[in-house]
Amino acid sequence: MLKLWGRPTSGRTQKVLWTLAEIGLDFEFILASATMGPGGHVSKGNQPFGVVDTPEYRAKNPNGRVPTIDDDGFVLWESNSIVRYLAMQYAPELLYGNDVRIFASASRWLDWENNELLPPQHEMVMHLIRLPEEQRDPHELERARRDFLKRLEIVEDQLGRTRYICSERFTYGDIPLGIRVHRWHVLGLATVSFPNIDRWYAEIRTRPAFLVWTADPANHLEG
């Protein structure tokens, strides 16, 4: 059975969890983290789940980060690569219409999410929730909020042209963006109107696979 190391509060782990739920693949979930544990973030004195610092884990993933998978002896880390692997290996029709151009287009949105959208959201989560209160900086939070909104304009524009992020059909490209947009709503910061994103988000939220790991606000607000 496929093994996944990660934690439900990690957006990158959620990419894999959502993808596995779309496919309907059974897996073993091993809680692992150096920064989060059952009680919350280590910056507040909580114990981490651990595992990631062990030699066994480092042999699988030298970064000591999550997520990592082991699929029948095939070990892979980097969340976006894991999502692409799962899509190609288990659900090419469902997750990209078995079309190389749709695959590449979805892949581009994964890279964009990782490079552009994730960094300001990470800052927001740190300065709103995870850092101890005395280390939170309202200016950093505001800067990150503005950066995030600026980048969402690109998503808004694309969703004015296509029903889903890279075509008329749902693809794995919608998964990381779905997590970021959902987390954004859960954080509840001041926003602006994005009618196309709202339409798409309403549709994404009805997917049974979204409900399994991503929907629960606790998986975004735990600090």
Ligand X SMILES: N[C@@H](CCC(=O)N[C@@H](CS)C(=O)NCC(=O)O)C(=O)O
Interacting residues with ligand X between 95 and 134 (CB under 6 A): none
First CA to last CA across the chain, in angstroms?
31
Residues of this chain, 38-97, that bind ligand X according to CB under 6 A = 52, 65-67, 78-80
Rounded to 5 degrees, φ, ψ at 5 are -100, 130
Q: In the bound complex, what is the minimum distance in angstroms from residue 112's beta carbon to ligand X? A: 13
Contacts of 43 by beta carbon, 8 Å cutoff, 6+ apart:
35, 130, 131, 132, 135
Rounded Cα distance, 109 and 119, in Å? 15
Q: How many residues bind ligand X (CB under 6 A)?
A: 14
Q: Pick from 2, 4, 10, 209 the residue near ligand X by CB under 6 A.
A: 10
Burial of 77 (0-12, 13-18, 19+ CB in 10 A): middle
CB of 97 to ligand X, least distance (A): 25
> Phi and psi for 79 in degrees, rounded to 5?
-55, -45
Structure tokens at 101: 């151009």
138: Cβ contacts below 8 Å, ≥ 6 apart? 127
Q: Which is nearer to ligand X, 65 or 84 (CB)?
A: 65
Q: Which is nearer to ligand X, 4 or 204 (CB)?
A: 4
Among 19, 33, 121, 214, binds ligand X (CB under 6 A): 33
**CB nearer to ligand X: pick between 106 and 159:** 106
Interaction of residue 175 with ligand X, rule CB under 6 A: no
Q: Which is nearer to ligand X, 34 or 94 (CB)?
A: 34
Tell me the β-bridge partners of 30: 5
**What is the closest distance, in whole angstroms, from the C-beta atom of residue 84 to ligand X in the complex?**
12
Which of 2, 4, 12, 20 is the binder for ligand X (CB under 6 A)? 12
Interface contacts to ligand X, rule CB under 6 A: 10-12, 33-36, 52, 65-67, 78-80
